[in-house]
Amino acid sequence: MRWPGSPPGSGRSSAWRESGRGRHVSAQGSAEQLVQQVRPDFEVVAAVLVHAGKVCLLRRSPQVSSDAGLWHCVTGYLPAGADPMRHAMLEVAEETGIAAAALQVDGAAVLDLAGTDGRLWRVHAYRLRASTQELRLNWEHDAVRWVAPDDLDDLPTVRWFGAVLQALSMPGAGLP
């Protein structure tokens, strides 16, 4: 998946705070009100799998259009009108072979990240506890590693992975 640039000027009352991983929106009101205030260019799901205290990292295969060779979590574009949680479970099943029945939701967050080309990406992130670490990878990935949180910075990850970990209050959130 390609994660382009910074958000276009929205002219809204929301305040943008820039960080090393993108821009985060802050505004008064509920999360639902905030989602209505800022319209993303794209919406995706990101599912971070954990098992026995380790985080599942998947290496993007040469067959994907961006970030080949970099490590990350399960991701996928969110179709219009789709339920983010259900779609995250579908993506996990497609990319790893782990069925929803083998997963327990351990955390969730919604974050807005700026791409390098000025577009805004809304990420529906989930921390999912897996009852197994046996995976069946599809074409999008060519390797898997279950990594202790303290060792996450030993592998080159996609640039937005640290922001997802931070949003889910997970160790290793200091990743670049």
- Measured CA to CA, the distance from residue 28 to residue 33 in angstroms comes to 8
| 112, 119 contact by CB (below 8 A) | no
Nearest Cα neighbor of 170 from 85, 46, 24 is 46
DSSP alpha helices (H): ranges in 18-173? 31-37, 84-96, 161-167
Instruction: Report the predicted TM-score, pTM, of the whole model to 2 decimal places.
Output: 0.77
Distances (CA, A) of 156 to 51, 52, 71, 153, 159: 21, 22, 6, 7, 9
Residue 23 in any domain: the answer is: no
How far, rounded to the nearest angstrom, does the alpha carbon of residue 88 sit from its chain's CA centroid?
Answer: 10
CATH number for position 91: 3.90.79.10
* Digit-coded pLDDT (tens) for 92-103: 999 999 999 999
Average the pLDDT over 145-173 and give the result: 89
* Digit-coded pLDDT (tens) for 106-126: 999 999 999 888 899 999 999
Provide the pLDDT for residue 1. Answer: 32
Reading the block at residue 133, the tokens are 């670490």
Average the pLDDT over 30-41 and give the result: 63
Residue 3 in any domain: the answer is: no
Number of domains comprising the chain: 1
The amino acid present at 173, given as its one-letter code, is: A
Provide the pLDDT for residue 115. Answer: 86
Residue 115 in any domain: the answer is: yes
Provide the pLDDT for residue 11. Answer: 30
* Digit-coded pLDDT (tens) for 52-72: 999 999 999 999 888 999 999
**Domain range for 84:** 33-167
Reading the block at residue 118, the tokens are 């000025």
As a whole-number percent, the residues of the chain with pLDDT over 70 amount to 76
Task: Report CA torsion sign: 148, 149, 151, 155.
Answer: positive
Provide the pLDDT for residue 28. Answer: 42
Q: Which helix (H) or strand (E) holds 145?
A: strand 141-147
Residue 109 in any domain: the answer is: yes
Residue 27 in any domain: the answer is: no
Average the pLDDT over 42-47 and give the result: 96
Residue 119 in any domain: the answer is: yes
Provide the pLDDT for residue 53. Answer: 93
Q: Is the pLDDT of residue 5 over 60?
A: no
Residues 6+ away with beta carbon under 8 Å from 159: 3, 21, 176
Residue 155 in any domain: the answer is: yes
